[in-house]
Amino acid sequence: MNNVFVIGVGLIGGSFALDIKKQNSECTIFGIDNNENHLDEAIQLGIIDEKANLESLSKADLVIIAIPVDAALEVLPKVLHKISDEAIVFDVGSTKEDICLKVKPHPKRRNFLAAHPIAGTEHSGPRAALQGLYKNKTNIICEVEETAFKLQEKALKLFSDLGMRIRYMNPKAHDKHIAYVSHLSHISSFMLGKTVIEKEKNERDIFDMAGSGFESTVRLAKSSPAMWTPIFEQNKTNVIETLEEYINNLKHFKQLMEEGNFEAVYNEMKTTNHIKEILNGIN
């Protein structure tokens, strides 16, 4: 892997660049980004070696597409047209059905691997990039059988070098499950932030009274709307379904409170405490 192209030099793309450079110090990392400032920052921070554009992709061994999921749909076919037969391209988007559908008829489909590394923070841009971000994180790979075997191998070797666990899923199942464990969390957090900001005109009071519990629940409300809007758009049906269920559960909880049925309120919480063991990975 001599020539690595990272399209989108933000948190996700930038973190890949840092780790890949550490693993293969002799490779050259090329950065492509709409945002010229981000490219300059990425060079200053040592995330990329050179600025590039789509025209130079013919020399790429690896291309990582780490841009918002709507932009990825547009860019991926163009990238596939430019690369050589030996290059592997993977994306990192939080929705997998649309991109897999889009790329299905492409003559270079077998050069693409649909991936979703479950990693990140609420921050964005090159400054948010972190070395070791992917260590011990899960990488969900969709439609692996559609990627050329030799190129699968190349990508999987990279993920393994970076310390990632691999899970294979079909794109439909991915989008459905991820709506629950990721997309819904973001909306619940954003709406929590909104509810509190609306109420608390005197912001000093929020800050002083807010404990670490509020901070952790609302952390995701710092996330980038430019990244999340197209995710919600592409995963609309699943996200609406999770929202419906979440709203119903909240309504039920509220009704129990209104009825003064605090034994049931207790049981609602007791049952959900079980999340502790789930998060610890103990069944």
Site residues for a copy of itself, 210-239, by CB under 8 A, read 210-223, 225-226, 228-230, 232-233, 236, 239
Interaction between residue 107 and a copy of itself (CB under 8 A):
no
* Listed ranges 18-26, 41-49, 101-109, 209-217: which one lies at the site for a copy of itself (CB under 8 A): 209-217
User: Binding of a copy of itself at residue 201 (CB under 8 A)?
Assistant: no
User: Shortest approach of a copy of itself to residue 174 CB, angstroms?
Assistant: 8
As a whole number of angstroms, the distance between CA 70 and CA 73 comes to 5
Q: What is the 3-state secondary structure (H, E, C) of 26-49?
A: CCEEEEECCCHHHHHHHHHCCCCC
If one asks whether residue 180 binds a copy of itself (CB under 8 A), the answer comes out as yes
| Shortest distance in whole angstroms from residue 74 CB to a copy of itself | 16
Smallest gap from residue 124 Cβ to a copy of itself (A): 11
Cα distance between residue 78 and residue 136, in whole Å: 32
What part of residues 73-92 is at the interface with a copy of itself (CB under 8 A)? none
55 in contact with a copy of itself (CB under 8 A): no
- Which 253-272 residues touch a copy of itself, going by CB under 8 A? 253-254, 257-258, 260, 262, 265-272
Minimal distance, residue 113 CB to a copy of itself, in Å? 18
Which of 119, 151, 158, 164 is in the footprint of a copy of itself by CB under 8 A? 119
Residue placing its CB nearer to a copy of itself in the complex, 145 or 258: 258
Q: Is 87 left (phi over 0), alpha (psi -120 to 50) or beta?
A: beta
Residues 157, 237: Cα–Cα separation, whole Å: 34
Contact set for a copy of itself, span 160-179 (CB under 8 A):
165, 167, 177-178
Nearest CA-CA partner of 46 in 62, 63, 29: 29
Instruction: Count the residues of the shown chain that bind a copy of itself, applying the rule CB under 8 A.
Output: 94
Q: What is the largest CA-CA distance in the chain?
A: 68
Residue with tokens 């608390």: 200
d(CA 135, CA 162): 6
Q: What is the token pair recorded at 173?
A: 């199942």
25 contacts a copy of itself (rule: CB under 8 A): no
171 membership: H or E segment, kind and range: helix 171-178
**Smallest distance from a copy of itself to CB 166, Å:** 10
* 45 binds a copy of itself per the rule CB under 8 A: no
Q: How far is the CB of 109 from a copy of itself (least distance, A)?
A: 25
Helices 149-161 and 11-23 pack at an angle, to 10 degrees, of 90
Buried b (16+ CB within 10 A) or exposed e, 64-97: bbbbbbbbbbebbeebbebbeeebbbbbbbbbbb
Q: Using the rule CB under 8 A, which residue among 78, 138, 160, 163 binds a copy of itself?
A: 138
